[in-house]
Structure 1
Amino acid sequence: MFDAIMKFIGDLSEDDSRPEEFAETDYRLAAAALLVHTAAIDGGISDSEHVRLHDLIKERFKLDDKAADKLIMRAEEADEKAIDLYQFTTRLNRALDDKQRARVVEMMWQVVFADGKVTEFEDNLIWRAADLLHVSREERIALKTRVAAAQGTDE
């Protein structure tokens, strides 16, 4: 029994020492998959969206370029396999508090505004994701307005 507990503790600390390993249960993978889906929902990921996606993931999760690229690659794979948003939002709901979930929605808006325009597909996606993440309509709209103002874009 003691050996099993020590192995469990060792596994936990080993995961912490390898932040570039992104398990299926890692909330960072779920968040990145939502961001990838956001960038691609309007038909493809533009260069400006890709740059913004990379910068957001690198900054938010405190990763170097190589780890950010690996997370994006894993997120693209997860997004391709996904049948809906629920698998990602459920993981985020379990791992993050209200403020952190709102931050994910804000990041989604940052990806959307990277190319200077919001399509109805992007707007609808964020509406659905915010709802699943329990981010209120008012907060979702406030986040959109704040990101648009920061980008110097009309919403």
Structure 2
Amino acid sequence: MFDQLRALFSSASDYHTPLPESDARHAVGTLMVRAAKADKAYLFEEIELIDKILAKRNDLDVVEAAKMRASCERLEEEMPATEELATILKGAISTEEKEATLRALWHVVFADGVETEEEDQVLHEIEAVLGVSPKRAKQLHDEVMATDMGKPRSG
């Protein structure tokens, strides 16, 4: 399955590092990495939160979660279109899981205490592909913002 997806994104000769299987779990992780990098600053707080979310959602220990994130980082670099990543999830996860995914993505966006236009754009693109209505997407955004933006930041 992954070979077919890879062929859609670029020629096989462009890949130098073996990529993990492109399943829903890796697609979610890859989207979190993409959301964190959207503002051109991939910060420790975002990396740490991605690891925690991956560990919790996938029942992984700290090392396994970090390895999965590293795989997702490679996928993020190799898979050019956010829409194509989100499409992997669209049919593979339930409505509840789509909403949980969006919450996780917003948590990553807010991890550094700043929400940028670039991050908004990426998240809105993902919301549209997943089929989450703009009204519901706004509710999810506001719920996460209310909990995350009020927390003190380290540093």
TM range (shorter): 0.7 to 0.9
Residue 120 of structure 2: aligned partner:
123
Aligned amino acid, residue 92 of structure 1? L
2:91 to 83, 94, 100: 94
Q: Deviations over 1:59-86 (max 9, x none)?
A: 1111111211111011001110112013
What residue is the counterpart of 1:149 in the other structure? 146
Stretch deviating more after TM superposition (122-131 or 41-50): 41-50
- Code of the aligned partner of 2:130: L
Task: Write out aligned runs for 1:1-155 (5 A).
Answer: 23-153=20-150
How has the CA–CA distance of structure 1 residues 153 and 123 changed in structure 2, closer, same or farther, with 3 Å as cutoff? farther
Give the 3-state SS of the residue equivalent to 2:91 in structure 1.
helix
TM-superposition CA deviations, 1:87-142 (whole Å, max 9, x none): 32122112101111111111110001111110000011100000001111111111
Q: Residue deviations 1:6-46, cap 9 Å, x none?
A: xxxxxxxxxxxxxxxx9423211000000000011111211
Q: Is the CA contact (8 Å cut-off) linking 1:116 and 1:153 kept in structure 2?
A: no
TM, length-normalised to structure 1: 0.80
Regions of 4+ moved over 4 Å: none
CA RMSD, 1 decimal: 1.6
Q: Match for 2:116: what amino acid?
A: T
Corresponding letter in the other structure for 2:148: Q
**TM-score normalized by the length of structure 2:** 0.80
Quick check: 2:83–2:125 contact (8 Å CA) kept in 1? no
List gaps (5 residues or longer) in structure 2.
1-18
| C-alpha distance in 2 between matches for 1:112 and 1:152 | 10
Aligned residues: 133
3-state SS of paired residue (1:147): helix
Distance 2:142 2:62 in 1: 29
